[in-house]
């Protein structure tokens, strides 16, 4: 009765909860194919009740290994169903006799068209590897899973179901039910389309193996693996058939051609061009804002305004703490075309941003006199205005993150235009009215509200928001930590020098240094658009299981070329640049300009690597960044005898930081991925006739 015997093996780190469900699915599917069996569901429940005690004891005993083996068999004389568990556990359920004739032979049933069926598999799966070898044919299919199916927490365990079944079509449904059970256990509401796609691919491949390789005799072994850590479903088959069928000779007439240049990051380039054009205009407006106010207010008053601007930049690590998760998870939902997920993410993120913003309101409005005294500012009113508009500053970050995640770069660019123009016009108008620094701060604060009102249109096409599931909420909060760390490192590196100089140097020199920092950071803001465009594109490709590392190299190349061009200008024409931007009163900073620009260029390159690693869910670059930021603060706090010393310390530190970060990323890239390891293991024993098929990586 070998043709009615199945052997299964279930492996899971949580065997107690999953082994029973998978065994039940296999049992039901097998009994559903017993010839002439009526009331199969009732008999299935009886068999499960009889086996439950034995299964529980076996799981308890084998639980440490996390692996359960079982044999399912339909036997005659007498007609009964047998269940044997490894370790000697055994139970049987007698089946009612039937006078019905067995179903007709399945040889040739469902005759499979080799070409069409396998083309379908190729279109359904993200990776198809086939190794034809008489007596050892192997298949490996991989389906990338969306975040809604398994979440995205690193380190989650994998579940594997191995089925050894006879070479017939009768019990292929056991595989289908096993797939459904595994995905249902992973998510309370799995996508039926996803389950159907994987089931159909497995059905087609196994049918071809039975018909063409095994010729209806022998046995077939199939392993189904749900890998939660890498968010993928892997199907591997093995058969000892004497026949093979080489797929490389079959043209894929169902596969659509990828758009020209799609594999070369054209989306990154298009998005970067849009954002770069907008950023260029925004930066021009911001520099015009600083140039006019620097001349109107003079170095001492401009130092006070620069302090408030720097504080906004400092707390922007909180803004990015809500914006970066919104961008990453928004990109993942966008890749799945899940508008309900985006709506739920938006509601949760806005509530979080509002809570943080109200906390900042309390800190800066109630503590305004203390802040004014600490930084030697004449009036506490700028800190009050700062606190009142902090919630808008946080909420606009959420809306921009969703625009970034959905790769709506044109709309995202528009929000920055609104912010820049409202800040420029309102601040200049208020200063012209005689309100001085307070008027400039009021214009800045109102510009954040204007940007939020514009960016909130991201929800115009979203359905009504529903609460997000607790697991996703946990994933967002977990990812928020590294995002905050990354931004805090960026804030420390980009702004701690201005605050330290303001703390230890006279107001005149602090104003000069503020102008130096503002000019030198042209490099960072000019290359910001590359990182902004890269982040969601990499996140989407990573969630789909597509290649993405080439986008890091492309981004580094663009940033390097742009940075070196700006550094060259500051080296050869420093006096002219300072004279044009700030006037003769600021000429003492000219010799330091190229050094500061080069330090900023090194950090701009490092920032590309940090954000690339964040987009694929890795926080190691962020932690290296916060370490570099803390080290910069300590070094500048200890050594600040002159402005030249302050700039020199930053230059040496940023070059070392970029080299260390790049080496760290390179070492990670050298580690073999699981796909490479599996492919290599499949090729052991001879590579003759080995053919690998993959869907085009776009």
Q: What are phi and psi of 599, to 5 degrees?
A: -60, -40
Let me know: does 356 contact 174? Beta carbons within 8 Å.
no
- Cα separation, 401 vs 458, whole angstroms: 10
Helix, strand or coil for residue 476?
helix
Q: What are phi and psi of 256, to 5 degrees?
A: -80, 145
What is residue 521's predicted lDDT score, i.e. its pLDDT?
A: 74
What is residue 144's predicted lDDT score, i.e. its pLDDT?
A: 81
Nearest to 336 by CA among 613, 545, 157: 545
What is residue 3's predicted lDDT score, i.e. its pLDDT?
A: 64
What is residue 199's predicted lDDT score, i.e. its pLDDT?
A: 85
Nearest to 459 by CA among 326, 553, 572, 301: 326
What is residue 149's predicted lDDT score, i.e. its pLDDT?
A: 65
What is residue 55's predicted lDDT score, i.e. its pLDDT?
A: 64
Nearest to 134 by CA among 241, 257, 52: 241
As given in the structure block, the two tokens for residue 515 are 């102008």
Helix, strand or coil for residue 10?
strand
Q: Please state the length of the chain.
A: 698
- Cα separation, 80 vs 148, whole angstroms: 41
Nearest to 599 by CA among 652, 662, 660: 652
What is residue 87's predicted lDDT score, i.e. its pLDDT?
A: 64
What is the distance in angstroms between the CA of the first residue and the CA of the last residue of the chain? 49
The predicted-structure confidence for 544-570, as pLDDT tens digits, reads as follows: 666 778 888 888 888 898 889 988 998
Nearest to 174 by CA among 12, 1, 18, 32: 32
Let me know: does 6 contact 164? Beta carbons within 8 Å.
yes
- Cα separation, 183 vs 58, whole angstroms: 24
What is residue 679's predicted lDDT score, i.e. its pLDDT?
A: 31
Nearest to 400 by CA among 490, 319, 481, 313: 319
Burial of 373 (0-12, 13-18, 19+ CB in 10 A): exposed
User: Which residue(s) pair with 237 in the sheet?
Assistant: 139, 222
Let me know: does 217 contact 236? Beta carbons within 8 Å.
no
As given in the structure block, the two tokens for residue 486 are 């990354």
Let me know: does 231 contact 145? Beta carbons within 8 Å.
yes
Burial of 104 (0-12, 13-18, 19+ CB in 10 A): exposed
- Cα separation, 557 vs 206, whole angstroms: 46
Burial of 135 (0-12, 13-18, 19+ CB in 10 A): exposed
In three state form, how does the secondary structure of 26-78 look?
HHHHHHCCCCCCCCHHHHHHHHHHHHHHHHHHHHHHHCCCCEEEEEEEEECCC
- Cα separation, 593 vs 603, whole angstroms: 16
Residues in contact with 329: Cβ distance below 8 Å, sequence separation at least 6, in sequence order:
147, 341, 345, 405, 472, 475, 476, 479
Q: What is the pTM of this model?
A: 0.53
Query: How is 515-579 classified by DSSP, letter by letter?
Result: HHHHHHTHHHHHHHHHHHHHHHHHHHHHHHT---HHHHHHHHHHHHHHHHHHHHHHHH-HHHHHH
Question: What does the domain layout of the chain look like in residue ranges?
Answer: 2-239, 262-676
H or E segment to which residue 232 belongs:
strand 232-239
H or E segment to which residue 6 belongs:
strand 5-12
- Cα separation, 149 vs 601, whole angstroms: 41
The predicted-structure confidence for 88-146, as pLDDT tens digits, reads as follows: 667 777 776 654 444 444 433 333 444 455 666 777 787 888 777 767 788 888 888 87
Please list the ranges in the chain whose pLDDT falls under 70.
Answer: 1-3, 12-18, 35-44, 46-66, 76-77, 87-89, 96-120, 134, 147-157, 186-191, 216, 242, 244-273, 276, 299-300, 317, 335-336, 543-546, 671-698
């Amino acid at each position: 009765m070998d043709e009615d015997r199945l052997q299964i093996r279930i492996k899971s780190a949580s065997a107690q909860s999953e082994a029973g469900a998978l065994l039940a699915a296999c049992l039901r599917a097998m009994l559903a194919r017993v010839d002439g069996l009526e009331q199969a569901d009732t008999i299935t429940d009886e068999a499960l009740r009889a086996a439950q005690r034995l299964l529980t004891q076996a799981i308890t005993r084998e639980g440490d290994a996390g692996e359960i083996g079982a044999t399912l068999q339909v036997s005659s004389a007498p007609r009964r169903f047998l269940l044997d568990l490894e370790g000697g556990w055994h139970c049987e359920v007698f089946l009612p006799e039937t006078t019905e004739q067995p179903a007709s032979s399945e040889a040739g049933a469902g005759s499979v068209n080799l070409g069409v069926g396998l083309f379908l598999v190729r279109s359904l799966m993200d990776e198809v590897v086939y190794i034809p070898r008489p007596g050892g044919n192997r298949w490996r299919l991989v389906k990338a899973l969306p975040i809604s199916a398994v979440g995205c927490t690193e380190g989650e365990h994998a579940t594997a179901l191995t089925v050894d079944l006879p070479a017939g079509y009768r019990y292929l449904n056991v595989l289908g039910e096993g797939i459904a059970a595994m995905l249902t256990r992973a998510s309370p509401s799995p996508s039926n389309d996803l389950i159907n796609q994987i089931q159909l691919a497995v059905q087609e491949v196994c049918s071809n193996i039975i018909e063409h390789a095994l010729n209806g005799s022998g046995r077939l072994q199939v392993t189904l693996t749900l890998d939660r850590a890498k968010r993928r479903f892997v199907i591997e088959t093995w058969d000892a058939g004497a026949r093979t069928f080489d797929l490389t000779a079959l043209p894929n007439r169902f596969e659509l051609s990828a758009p020209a240049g799609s594999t070369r990051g054209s989306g990154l380039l298009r998005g970067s061009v849009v954002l770069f054009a907008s950023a260029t205009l925004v930066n021009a407006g911001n520099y015009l804002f600083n140039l006019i106010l620097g001349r109107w207010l003079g170095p001492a008053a401009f130092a006070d305004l620069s302090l408030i601007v720097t504080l906004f930049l400092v707390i922007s690590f909180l803004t990015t703490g809500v914006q970066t998760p919104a961008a990453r998870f928004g990109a993942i939902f966008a890749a799945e075309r899940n508008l309900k997920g985006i709506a739920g993410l938006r509601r949760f993120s806005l509530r979080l941003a509002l809570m943080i913003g109200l906390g900042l309101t309390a800190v800066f409005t109630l503590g305004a006199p203390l802040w004014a005294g600490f930084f030697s500012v004449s009036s506490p009113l700028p800190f009050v205005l700062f606190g009142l508009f902090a919630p808008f500053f946080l909420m606009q970050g959420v809306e921009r993150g969703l625009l970034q995640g959905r790769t709506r770069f044109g709309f995202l660019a528009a929000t920055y235009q609104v912010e820049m123009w409202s800040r420029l016009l309102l601040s200049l108008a208020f200063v012209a009215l005689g309100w001085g620094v307070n008027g400039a701060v009021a214009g800045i604060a109102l510009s954040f509200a204007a940007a939020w009102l514009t960016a909130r249109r991201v929800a115009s096409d979203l359905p009504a928001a529903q609460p997000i599931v607790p697991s996703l909420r946990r994933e967002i909060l977990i990812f928020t930590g590294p995002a905050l760390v990354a931004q805090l490192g960026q804030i420390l590196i980009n702004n701690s020098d201005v605050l330290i100089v303001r703390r230890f140097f006279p107001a005149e020199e602090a104003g000069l240094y503020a102008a130096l920092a503002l000019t030198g950071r042209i490099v960072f803001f000019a290359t910001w658009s590359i990182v902004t465009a890269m982040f969601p594109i990499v996140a989407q490709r990573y969630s789909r299981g597509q290649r993405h590392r080439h986008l890091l190299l492309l981004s580094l190349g663009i940033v390097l070329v742009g940075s070196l061009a700006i550094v060259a200008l500051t080296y050869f024409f420093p006096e002219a640049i300072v004279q044009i931007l700030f006037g003769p009163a600021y000429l003492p900073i000219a010799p330091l300009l190229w050094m500061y620009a080069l330090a900023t260029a090194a950090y701009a390159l490092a920032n590309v690597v940090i954000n690339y690693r964040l987009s694929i869910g890795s926080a190691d670059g962020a932690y290296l960044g916060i370490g570099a930021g803390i080290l910069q603060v300590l070094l500048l706090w200890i050594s600040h005898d002159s402005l030249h010393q302050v700039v020199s310390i930053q230059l040496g530190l940023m070059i070392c930081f970029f080299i260390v970060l790049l080496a760290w990323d390179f070492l990670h890239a050298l580690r073999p991925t699981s796909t490479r390891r599996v492919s290599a293991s499949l090729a052991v024993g001879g590579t003759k006739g080995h053919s690998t098929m993959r869907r085009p990586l776009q």
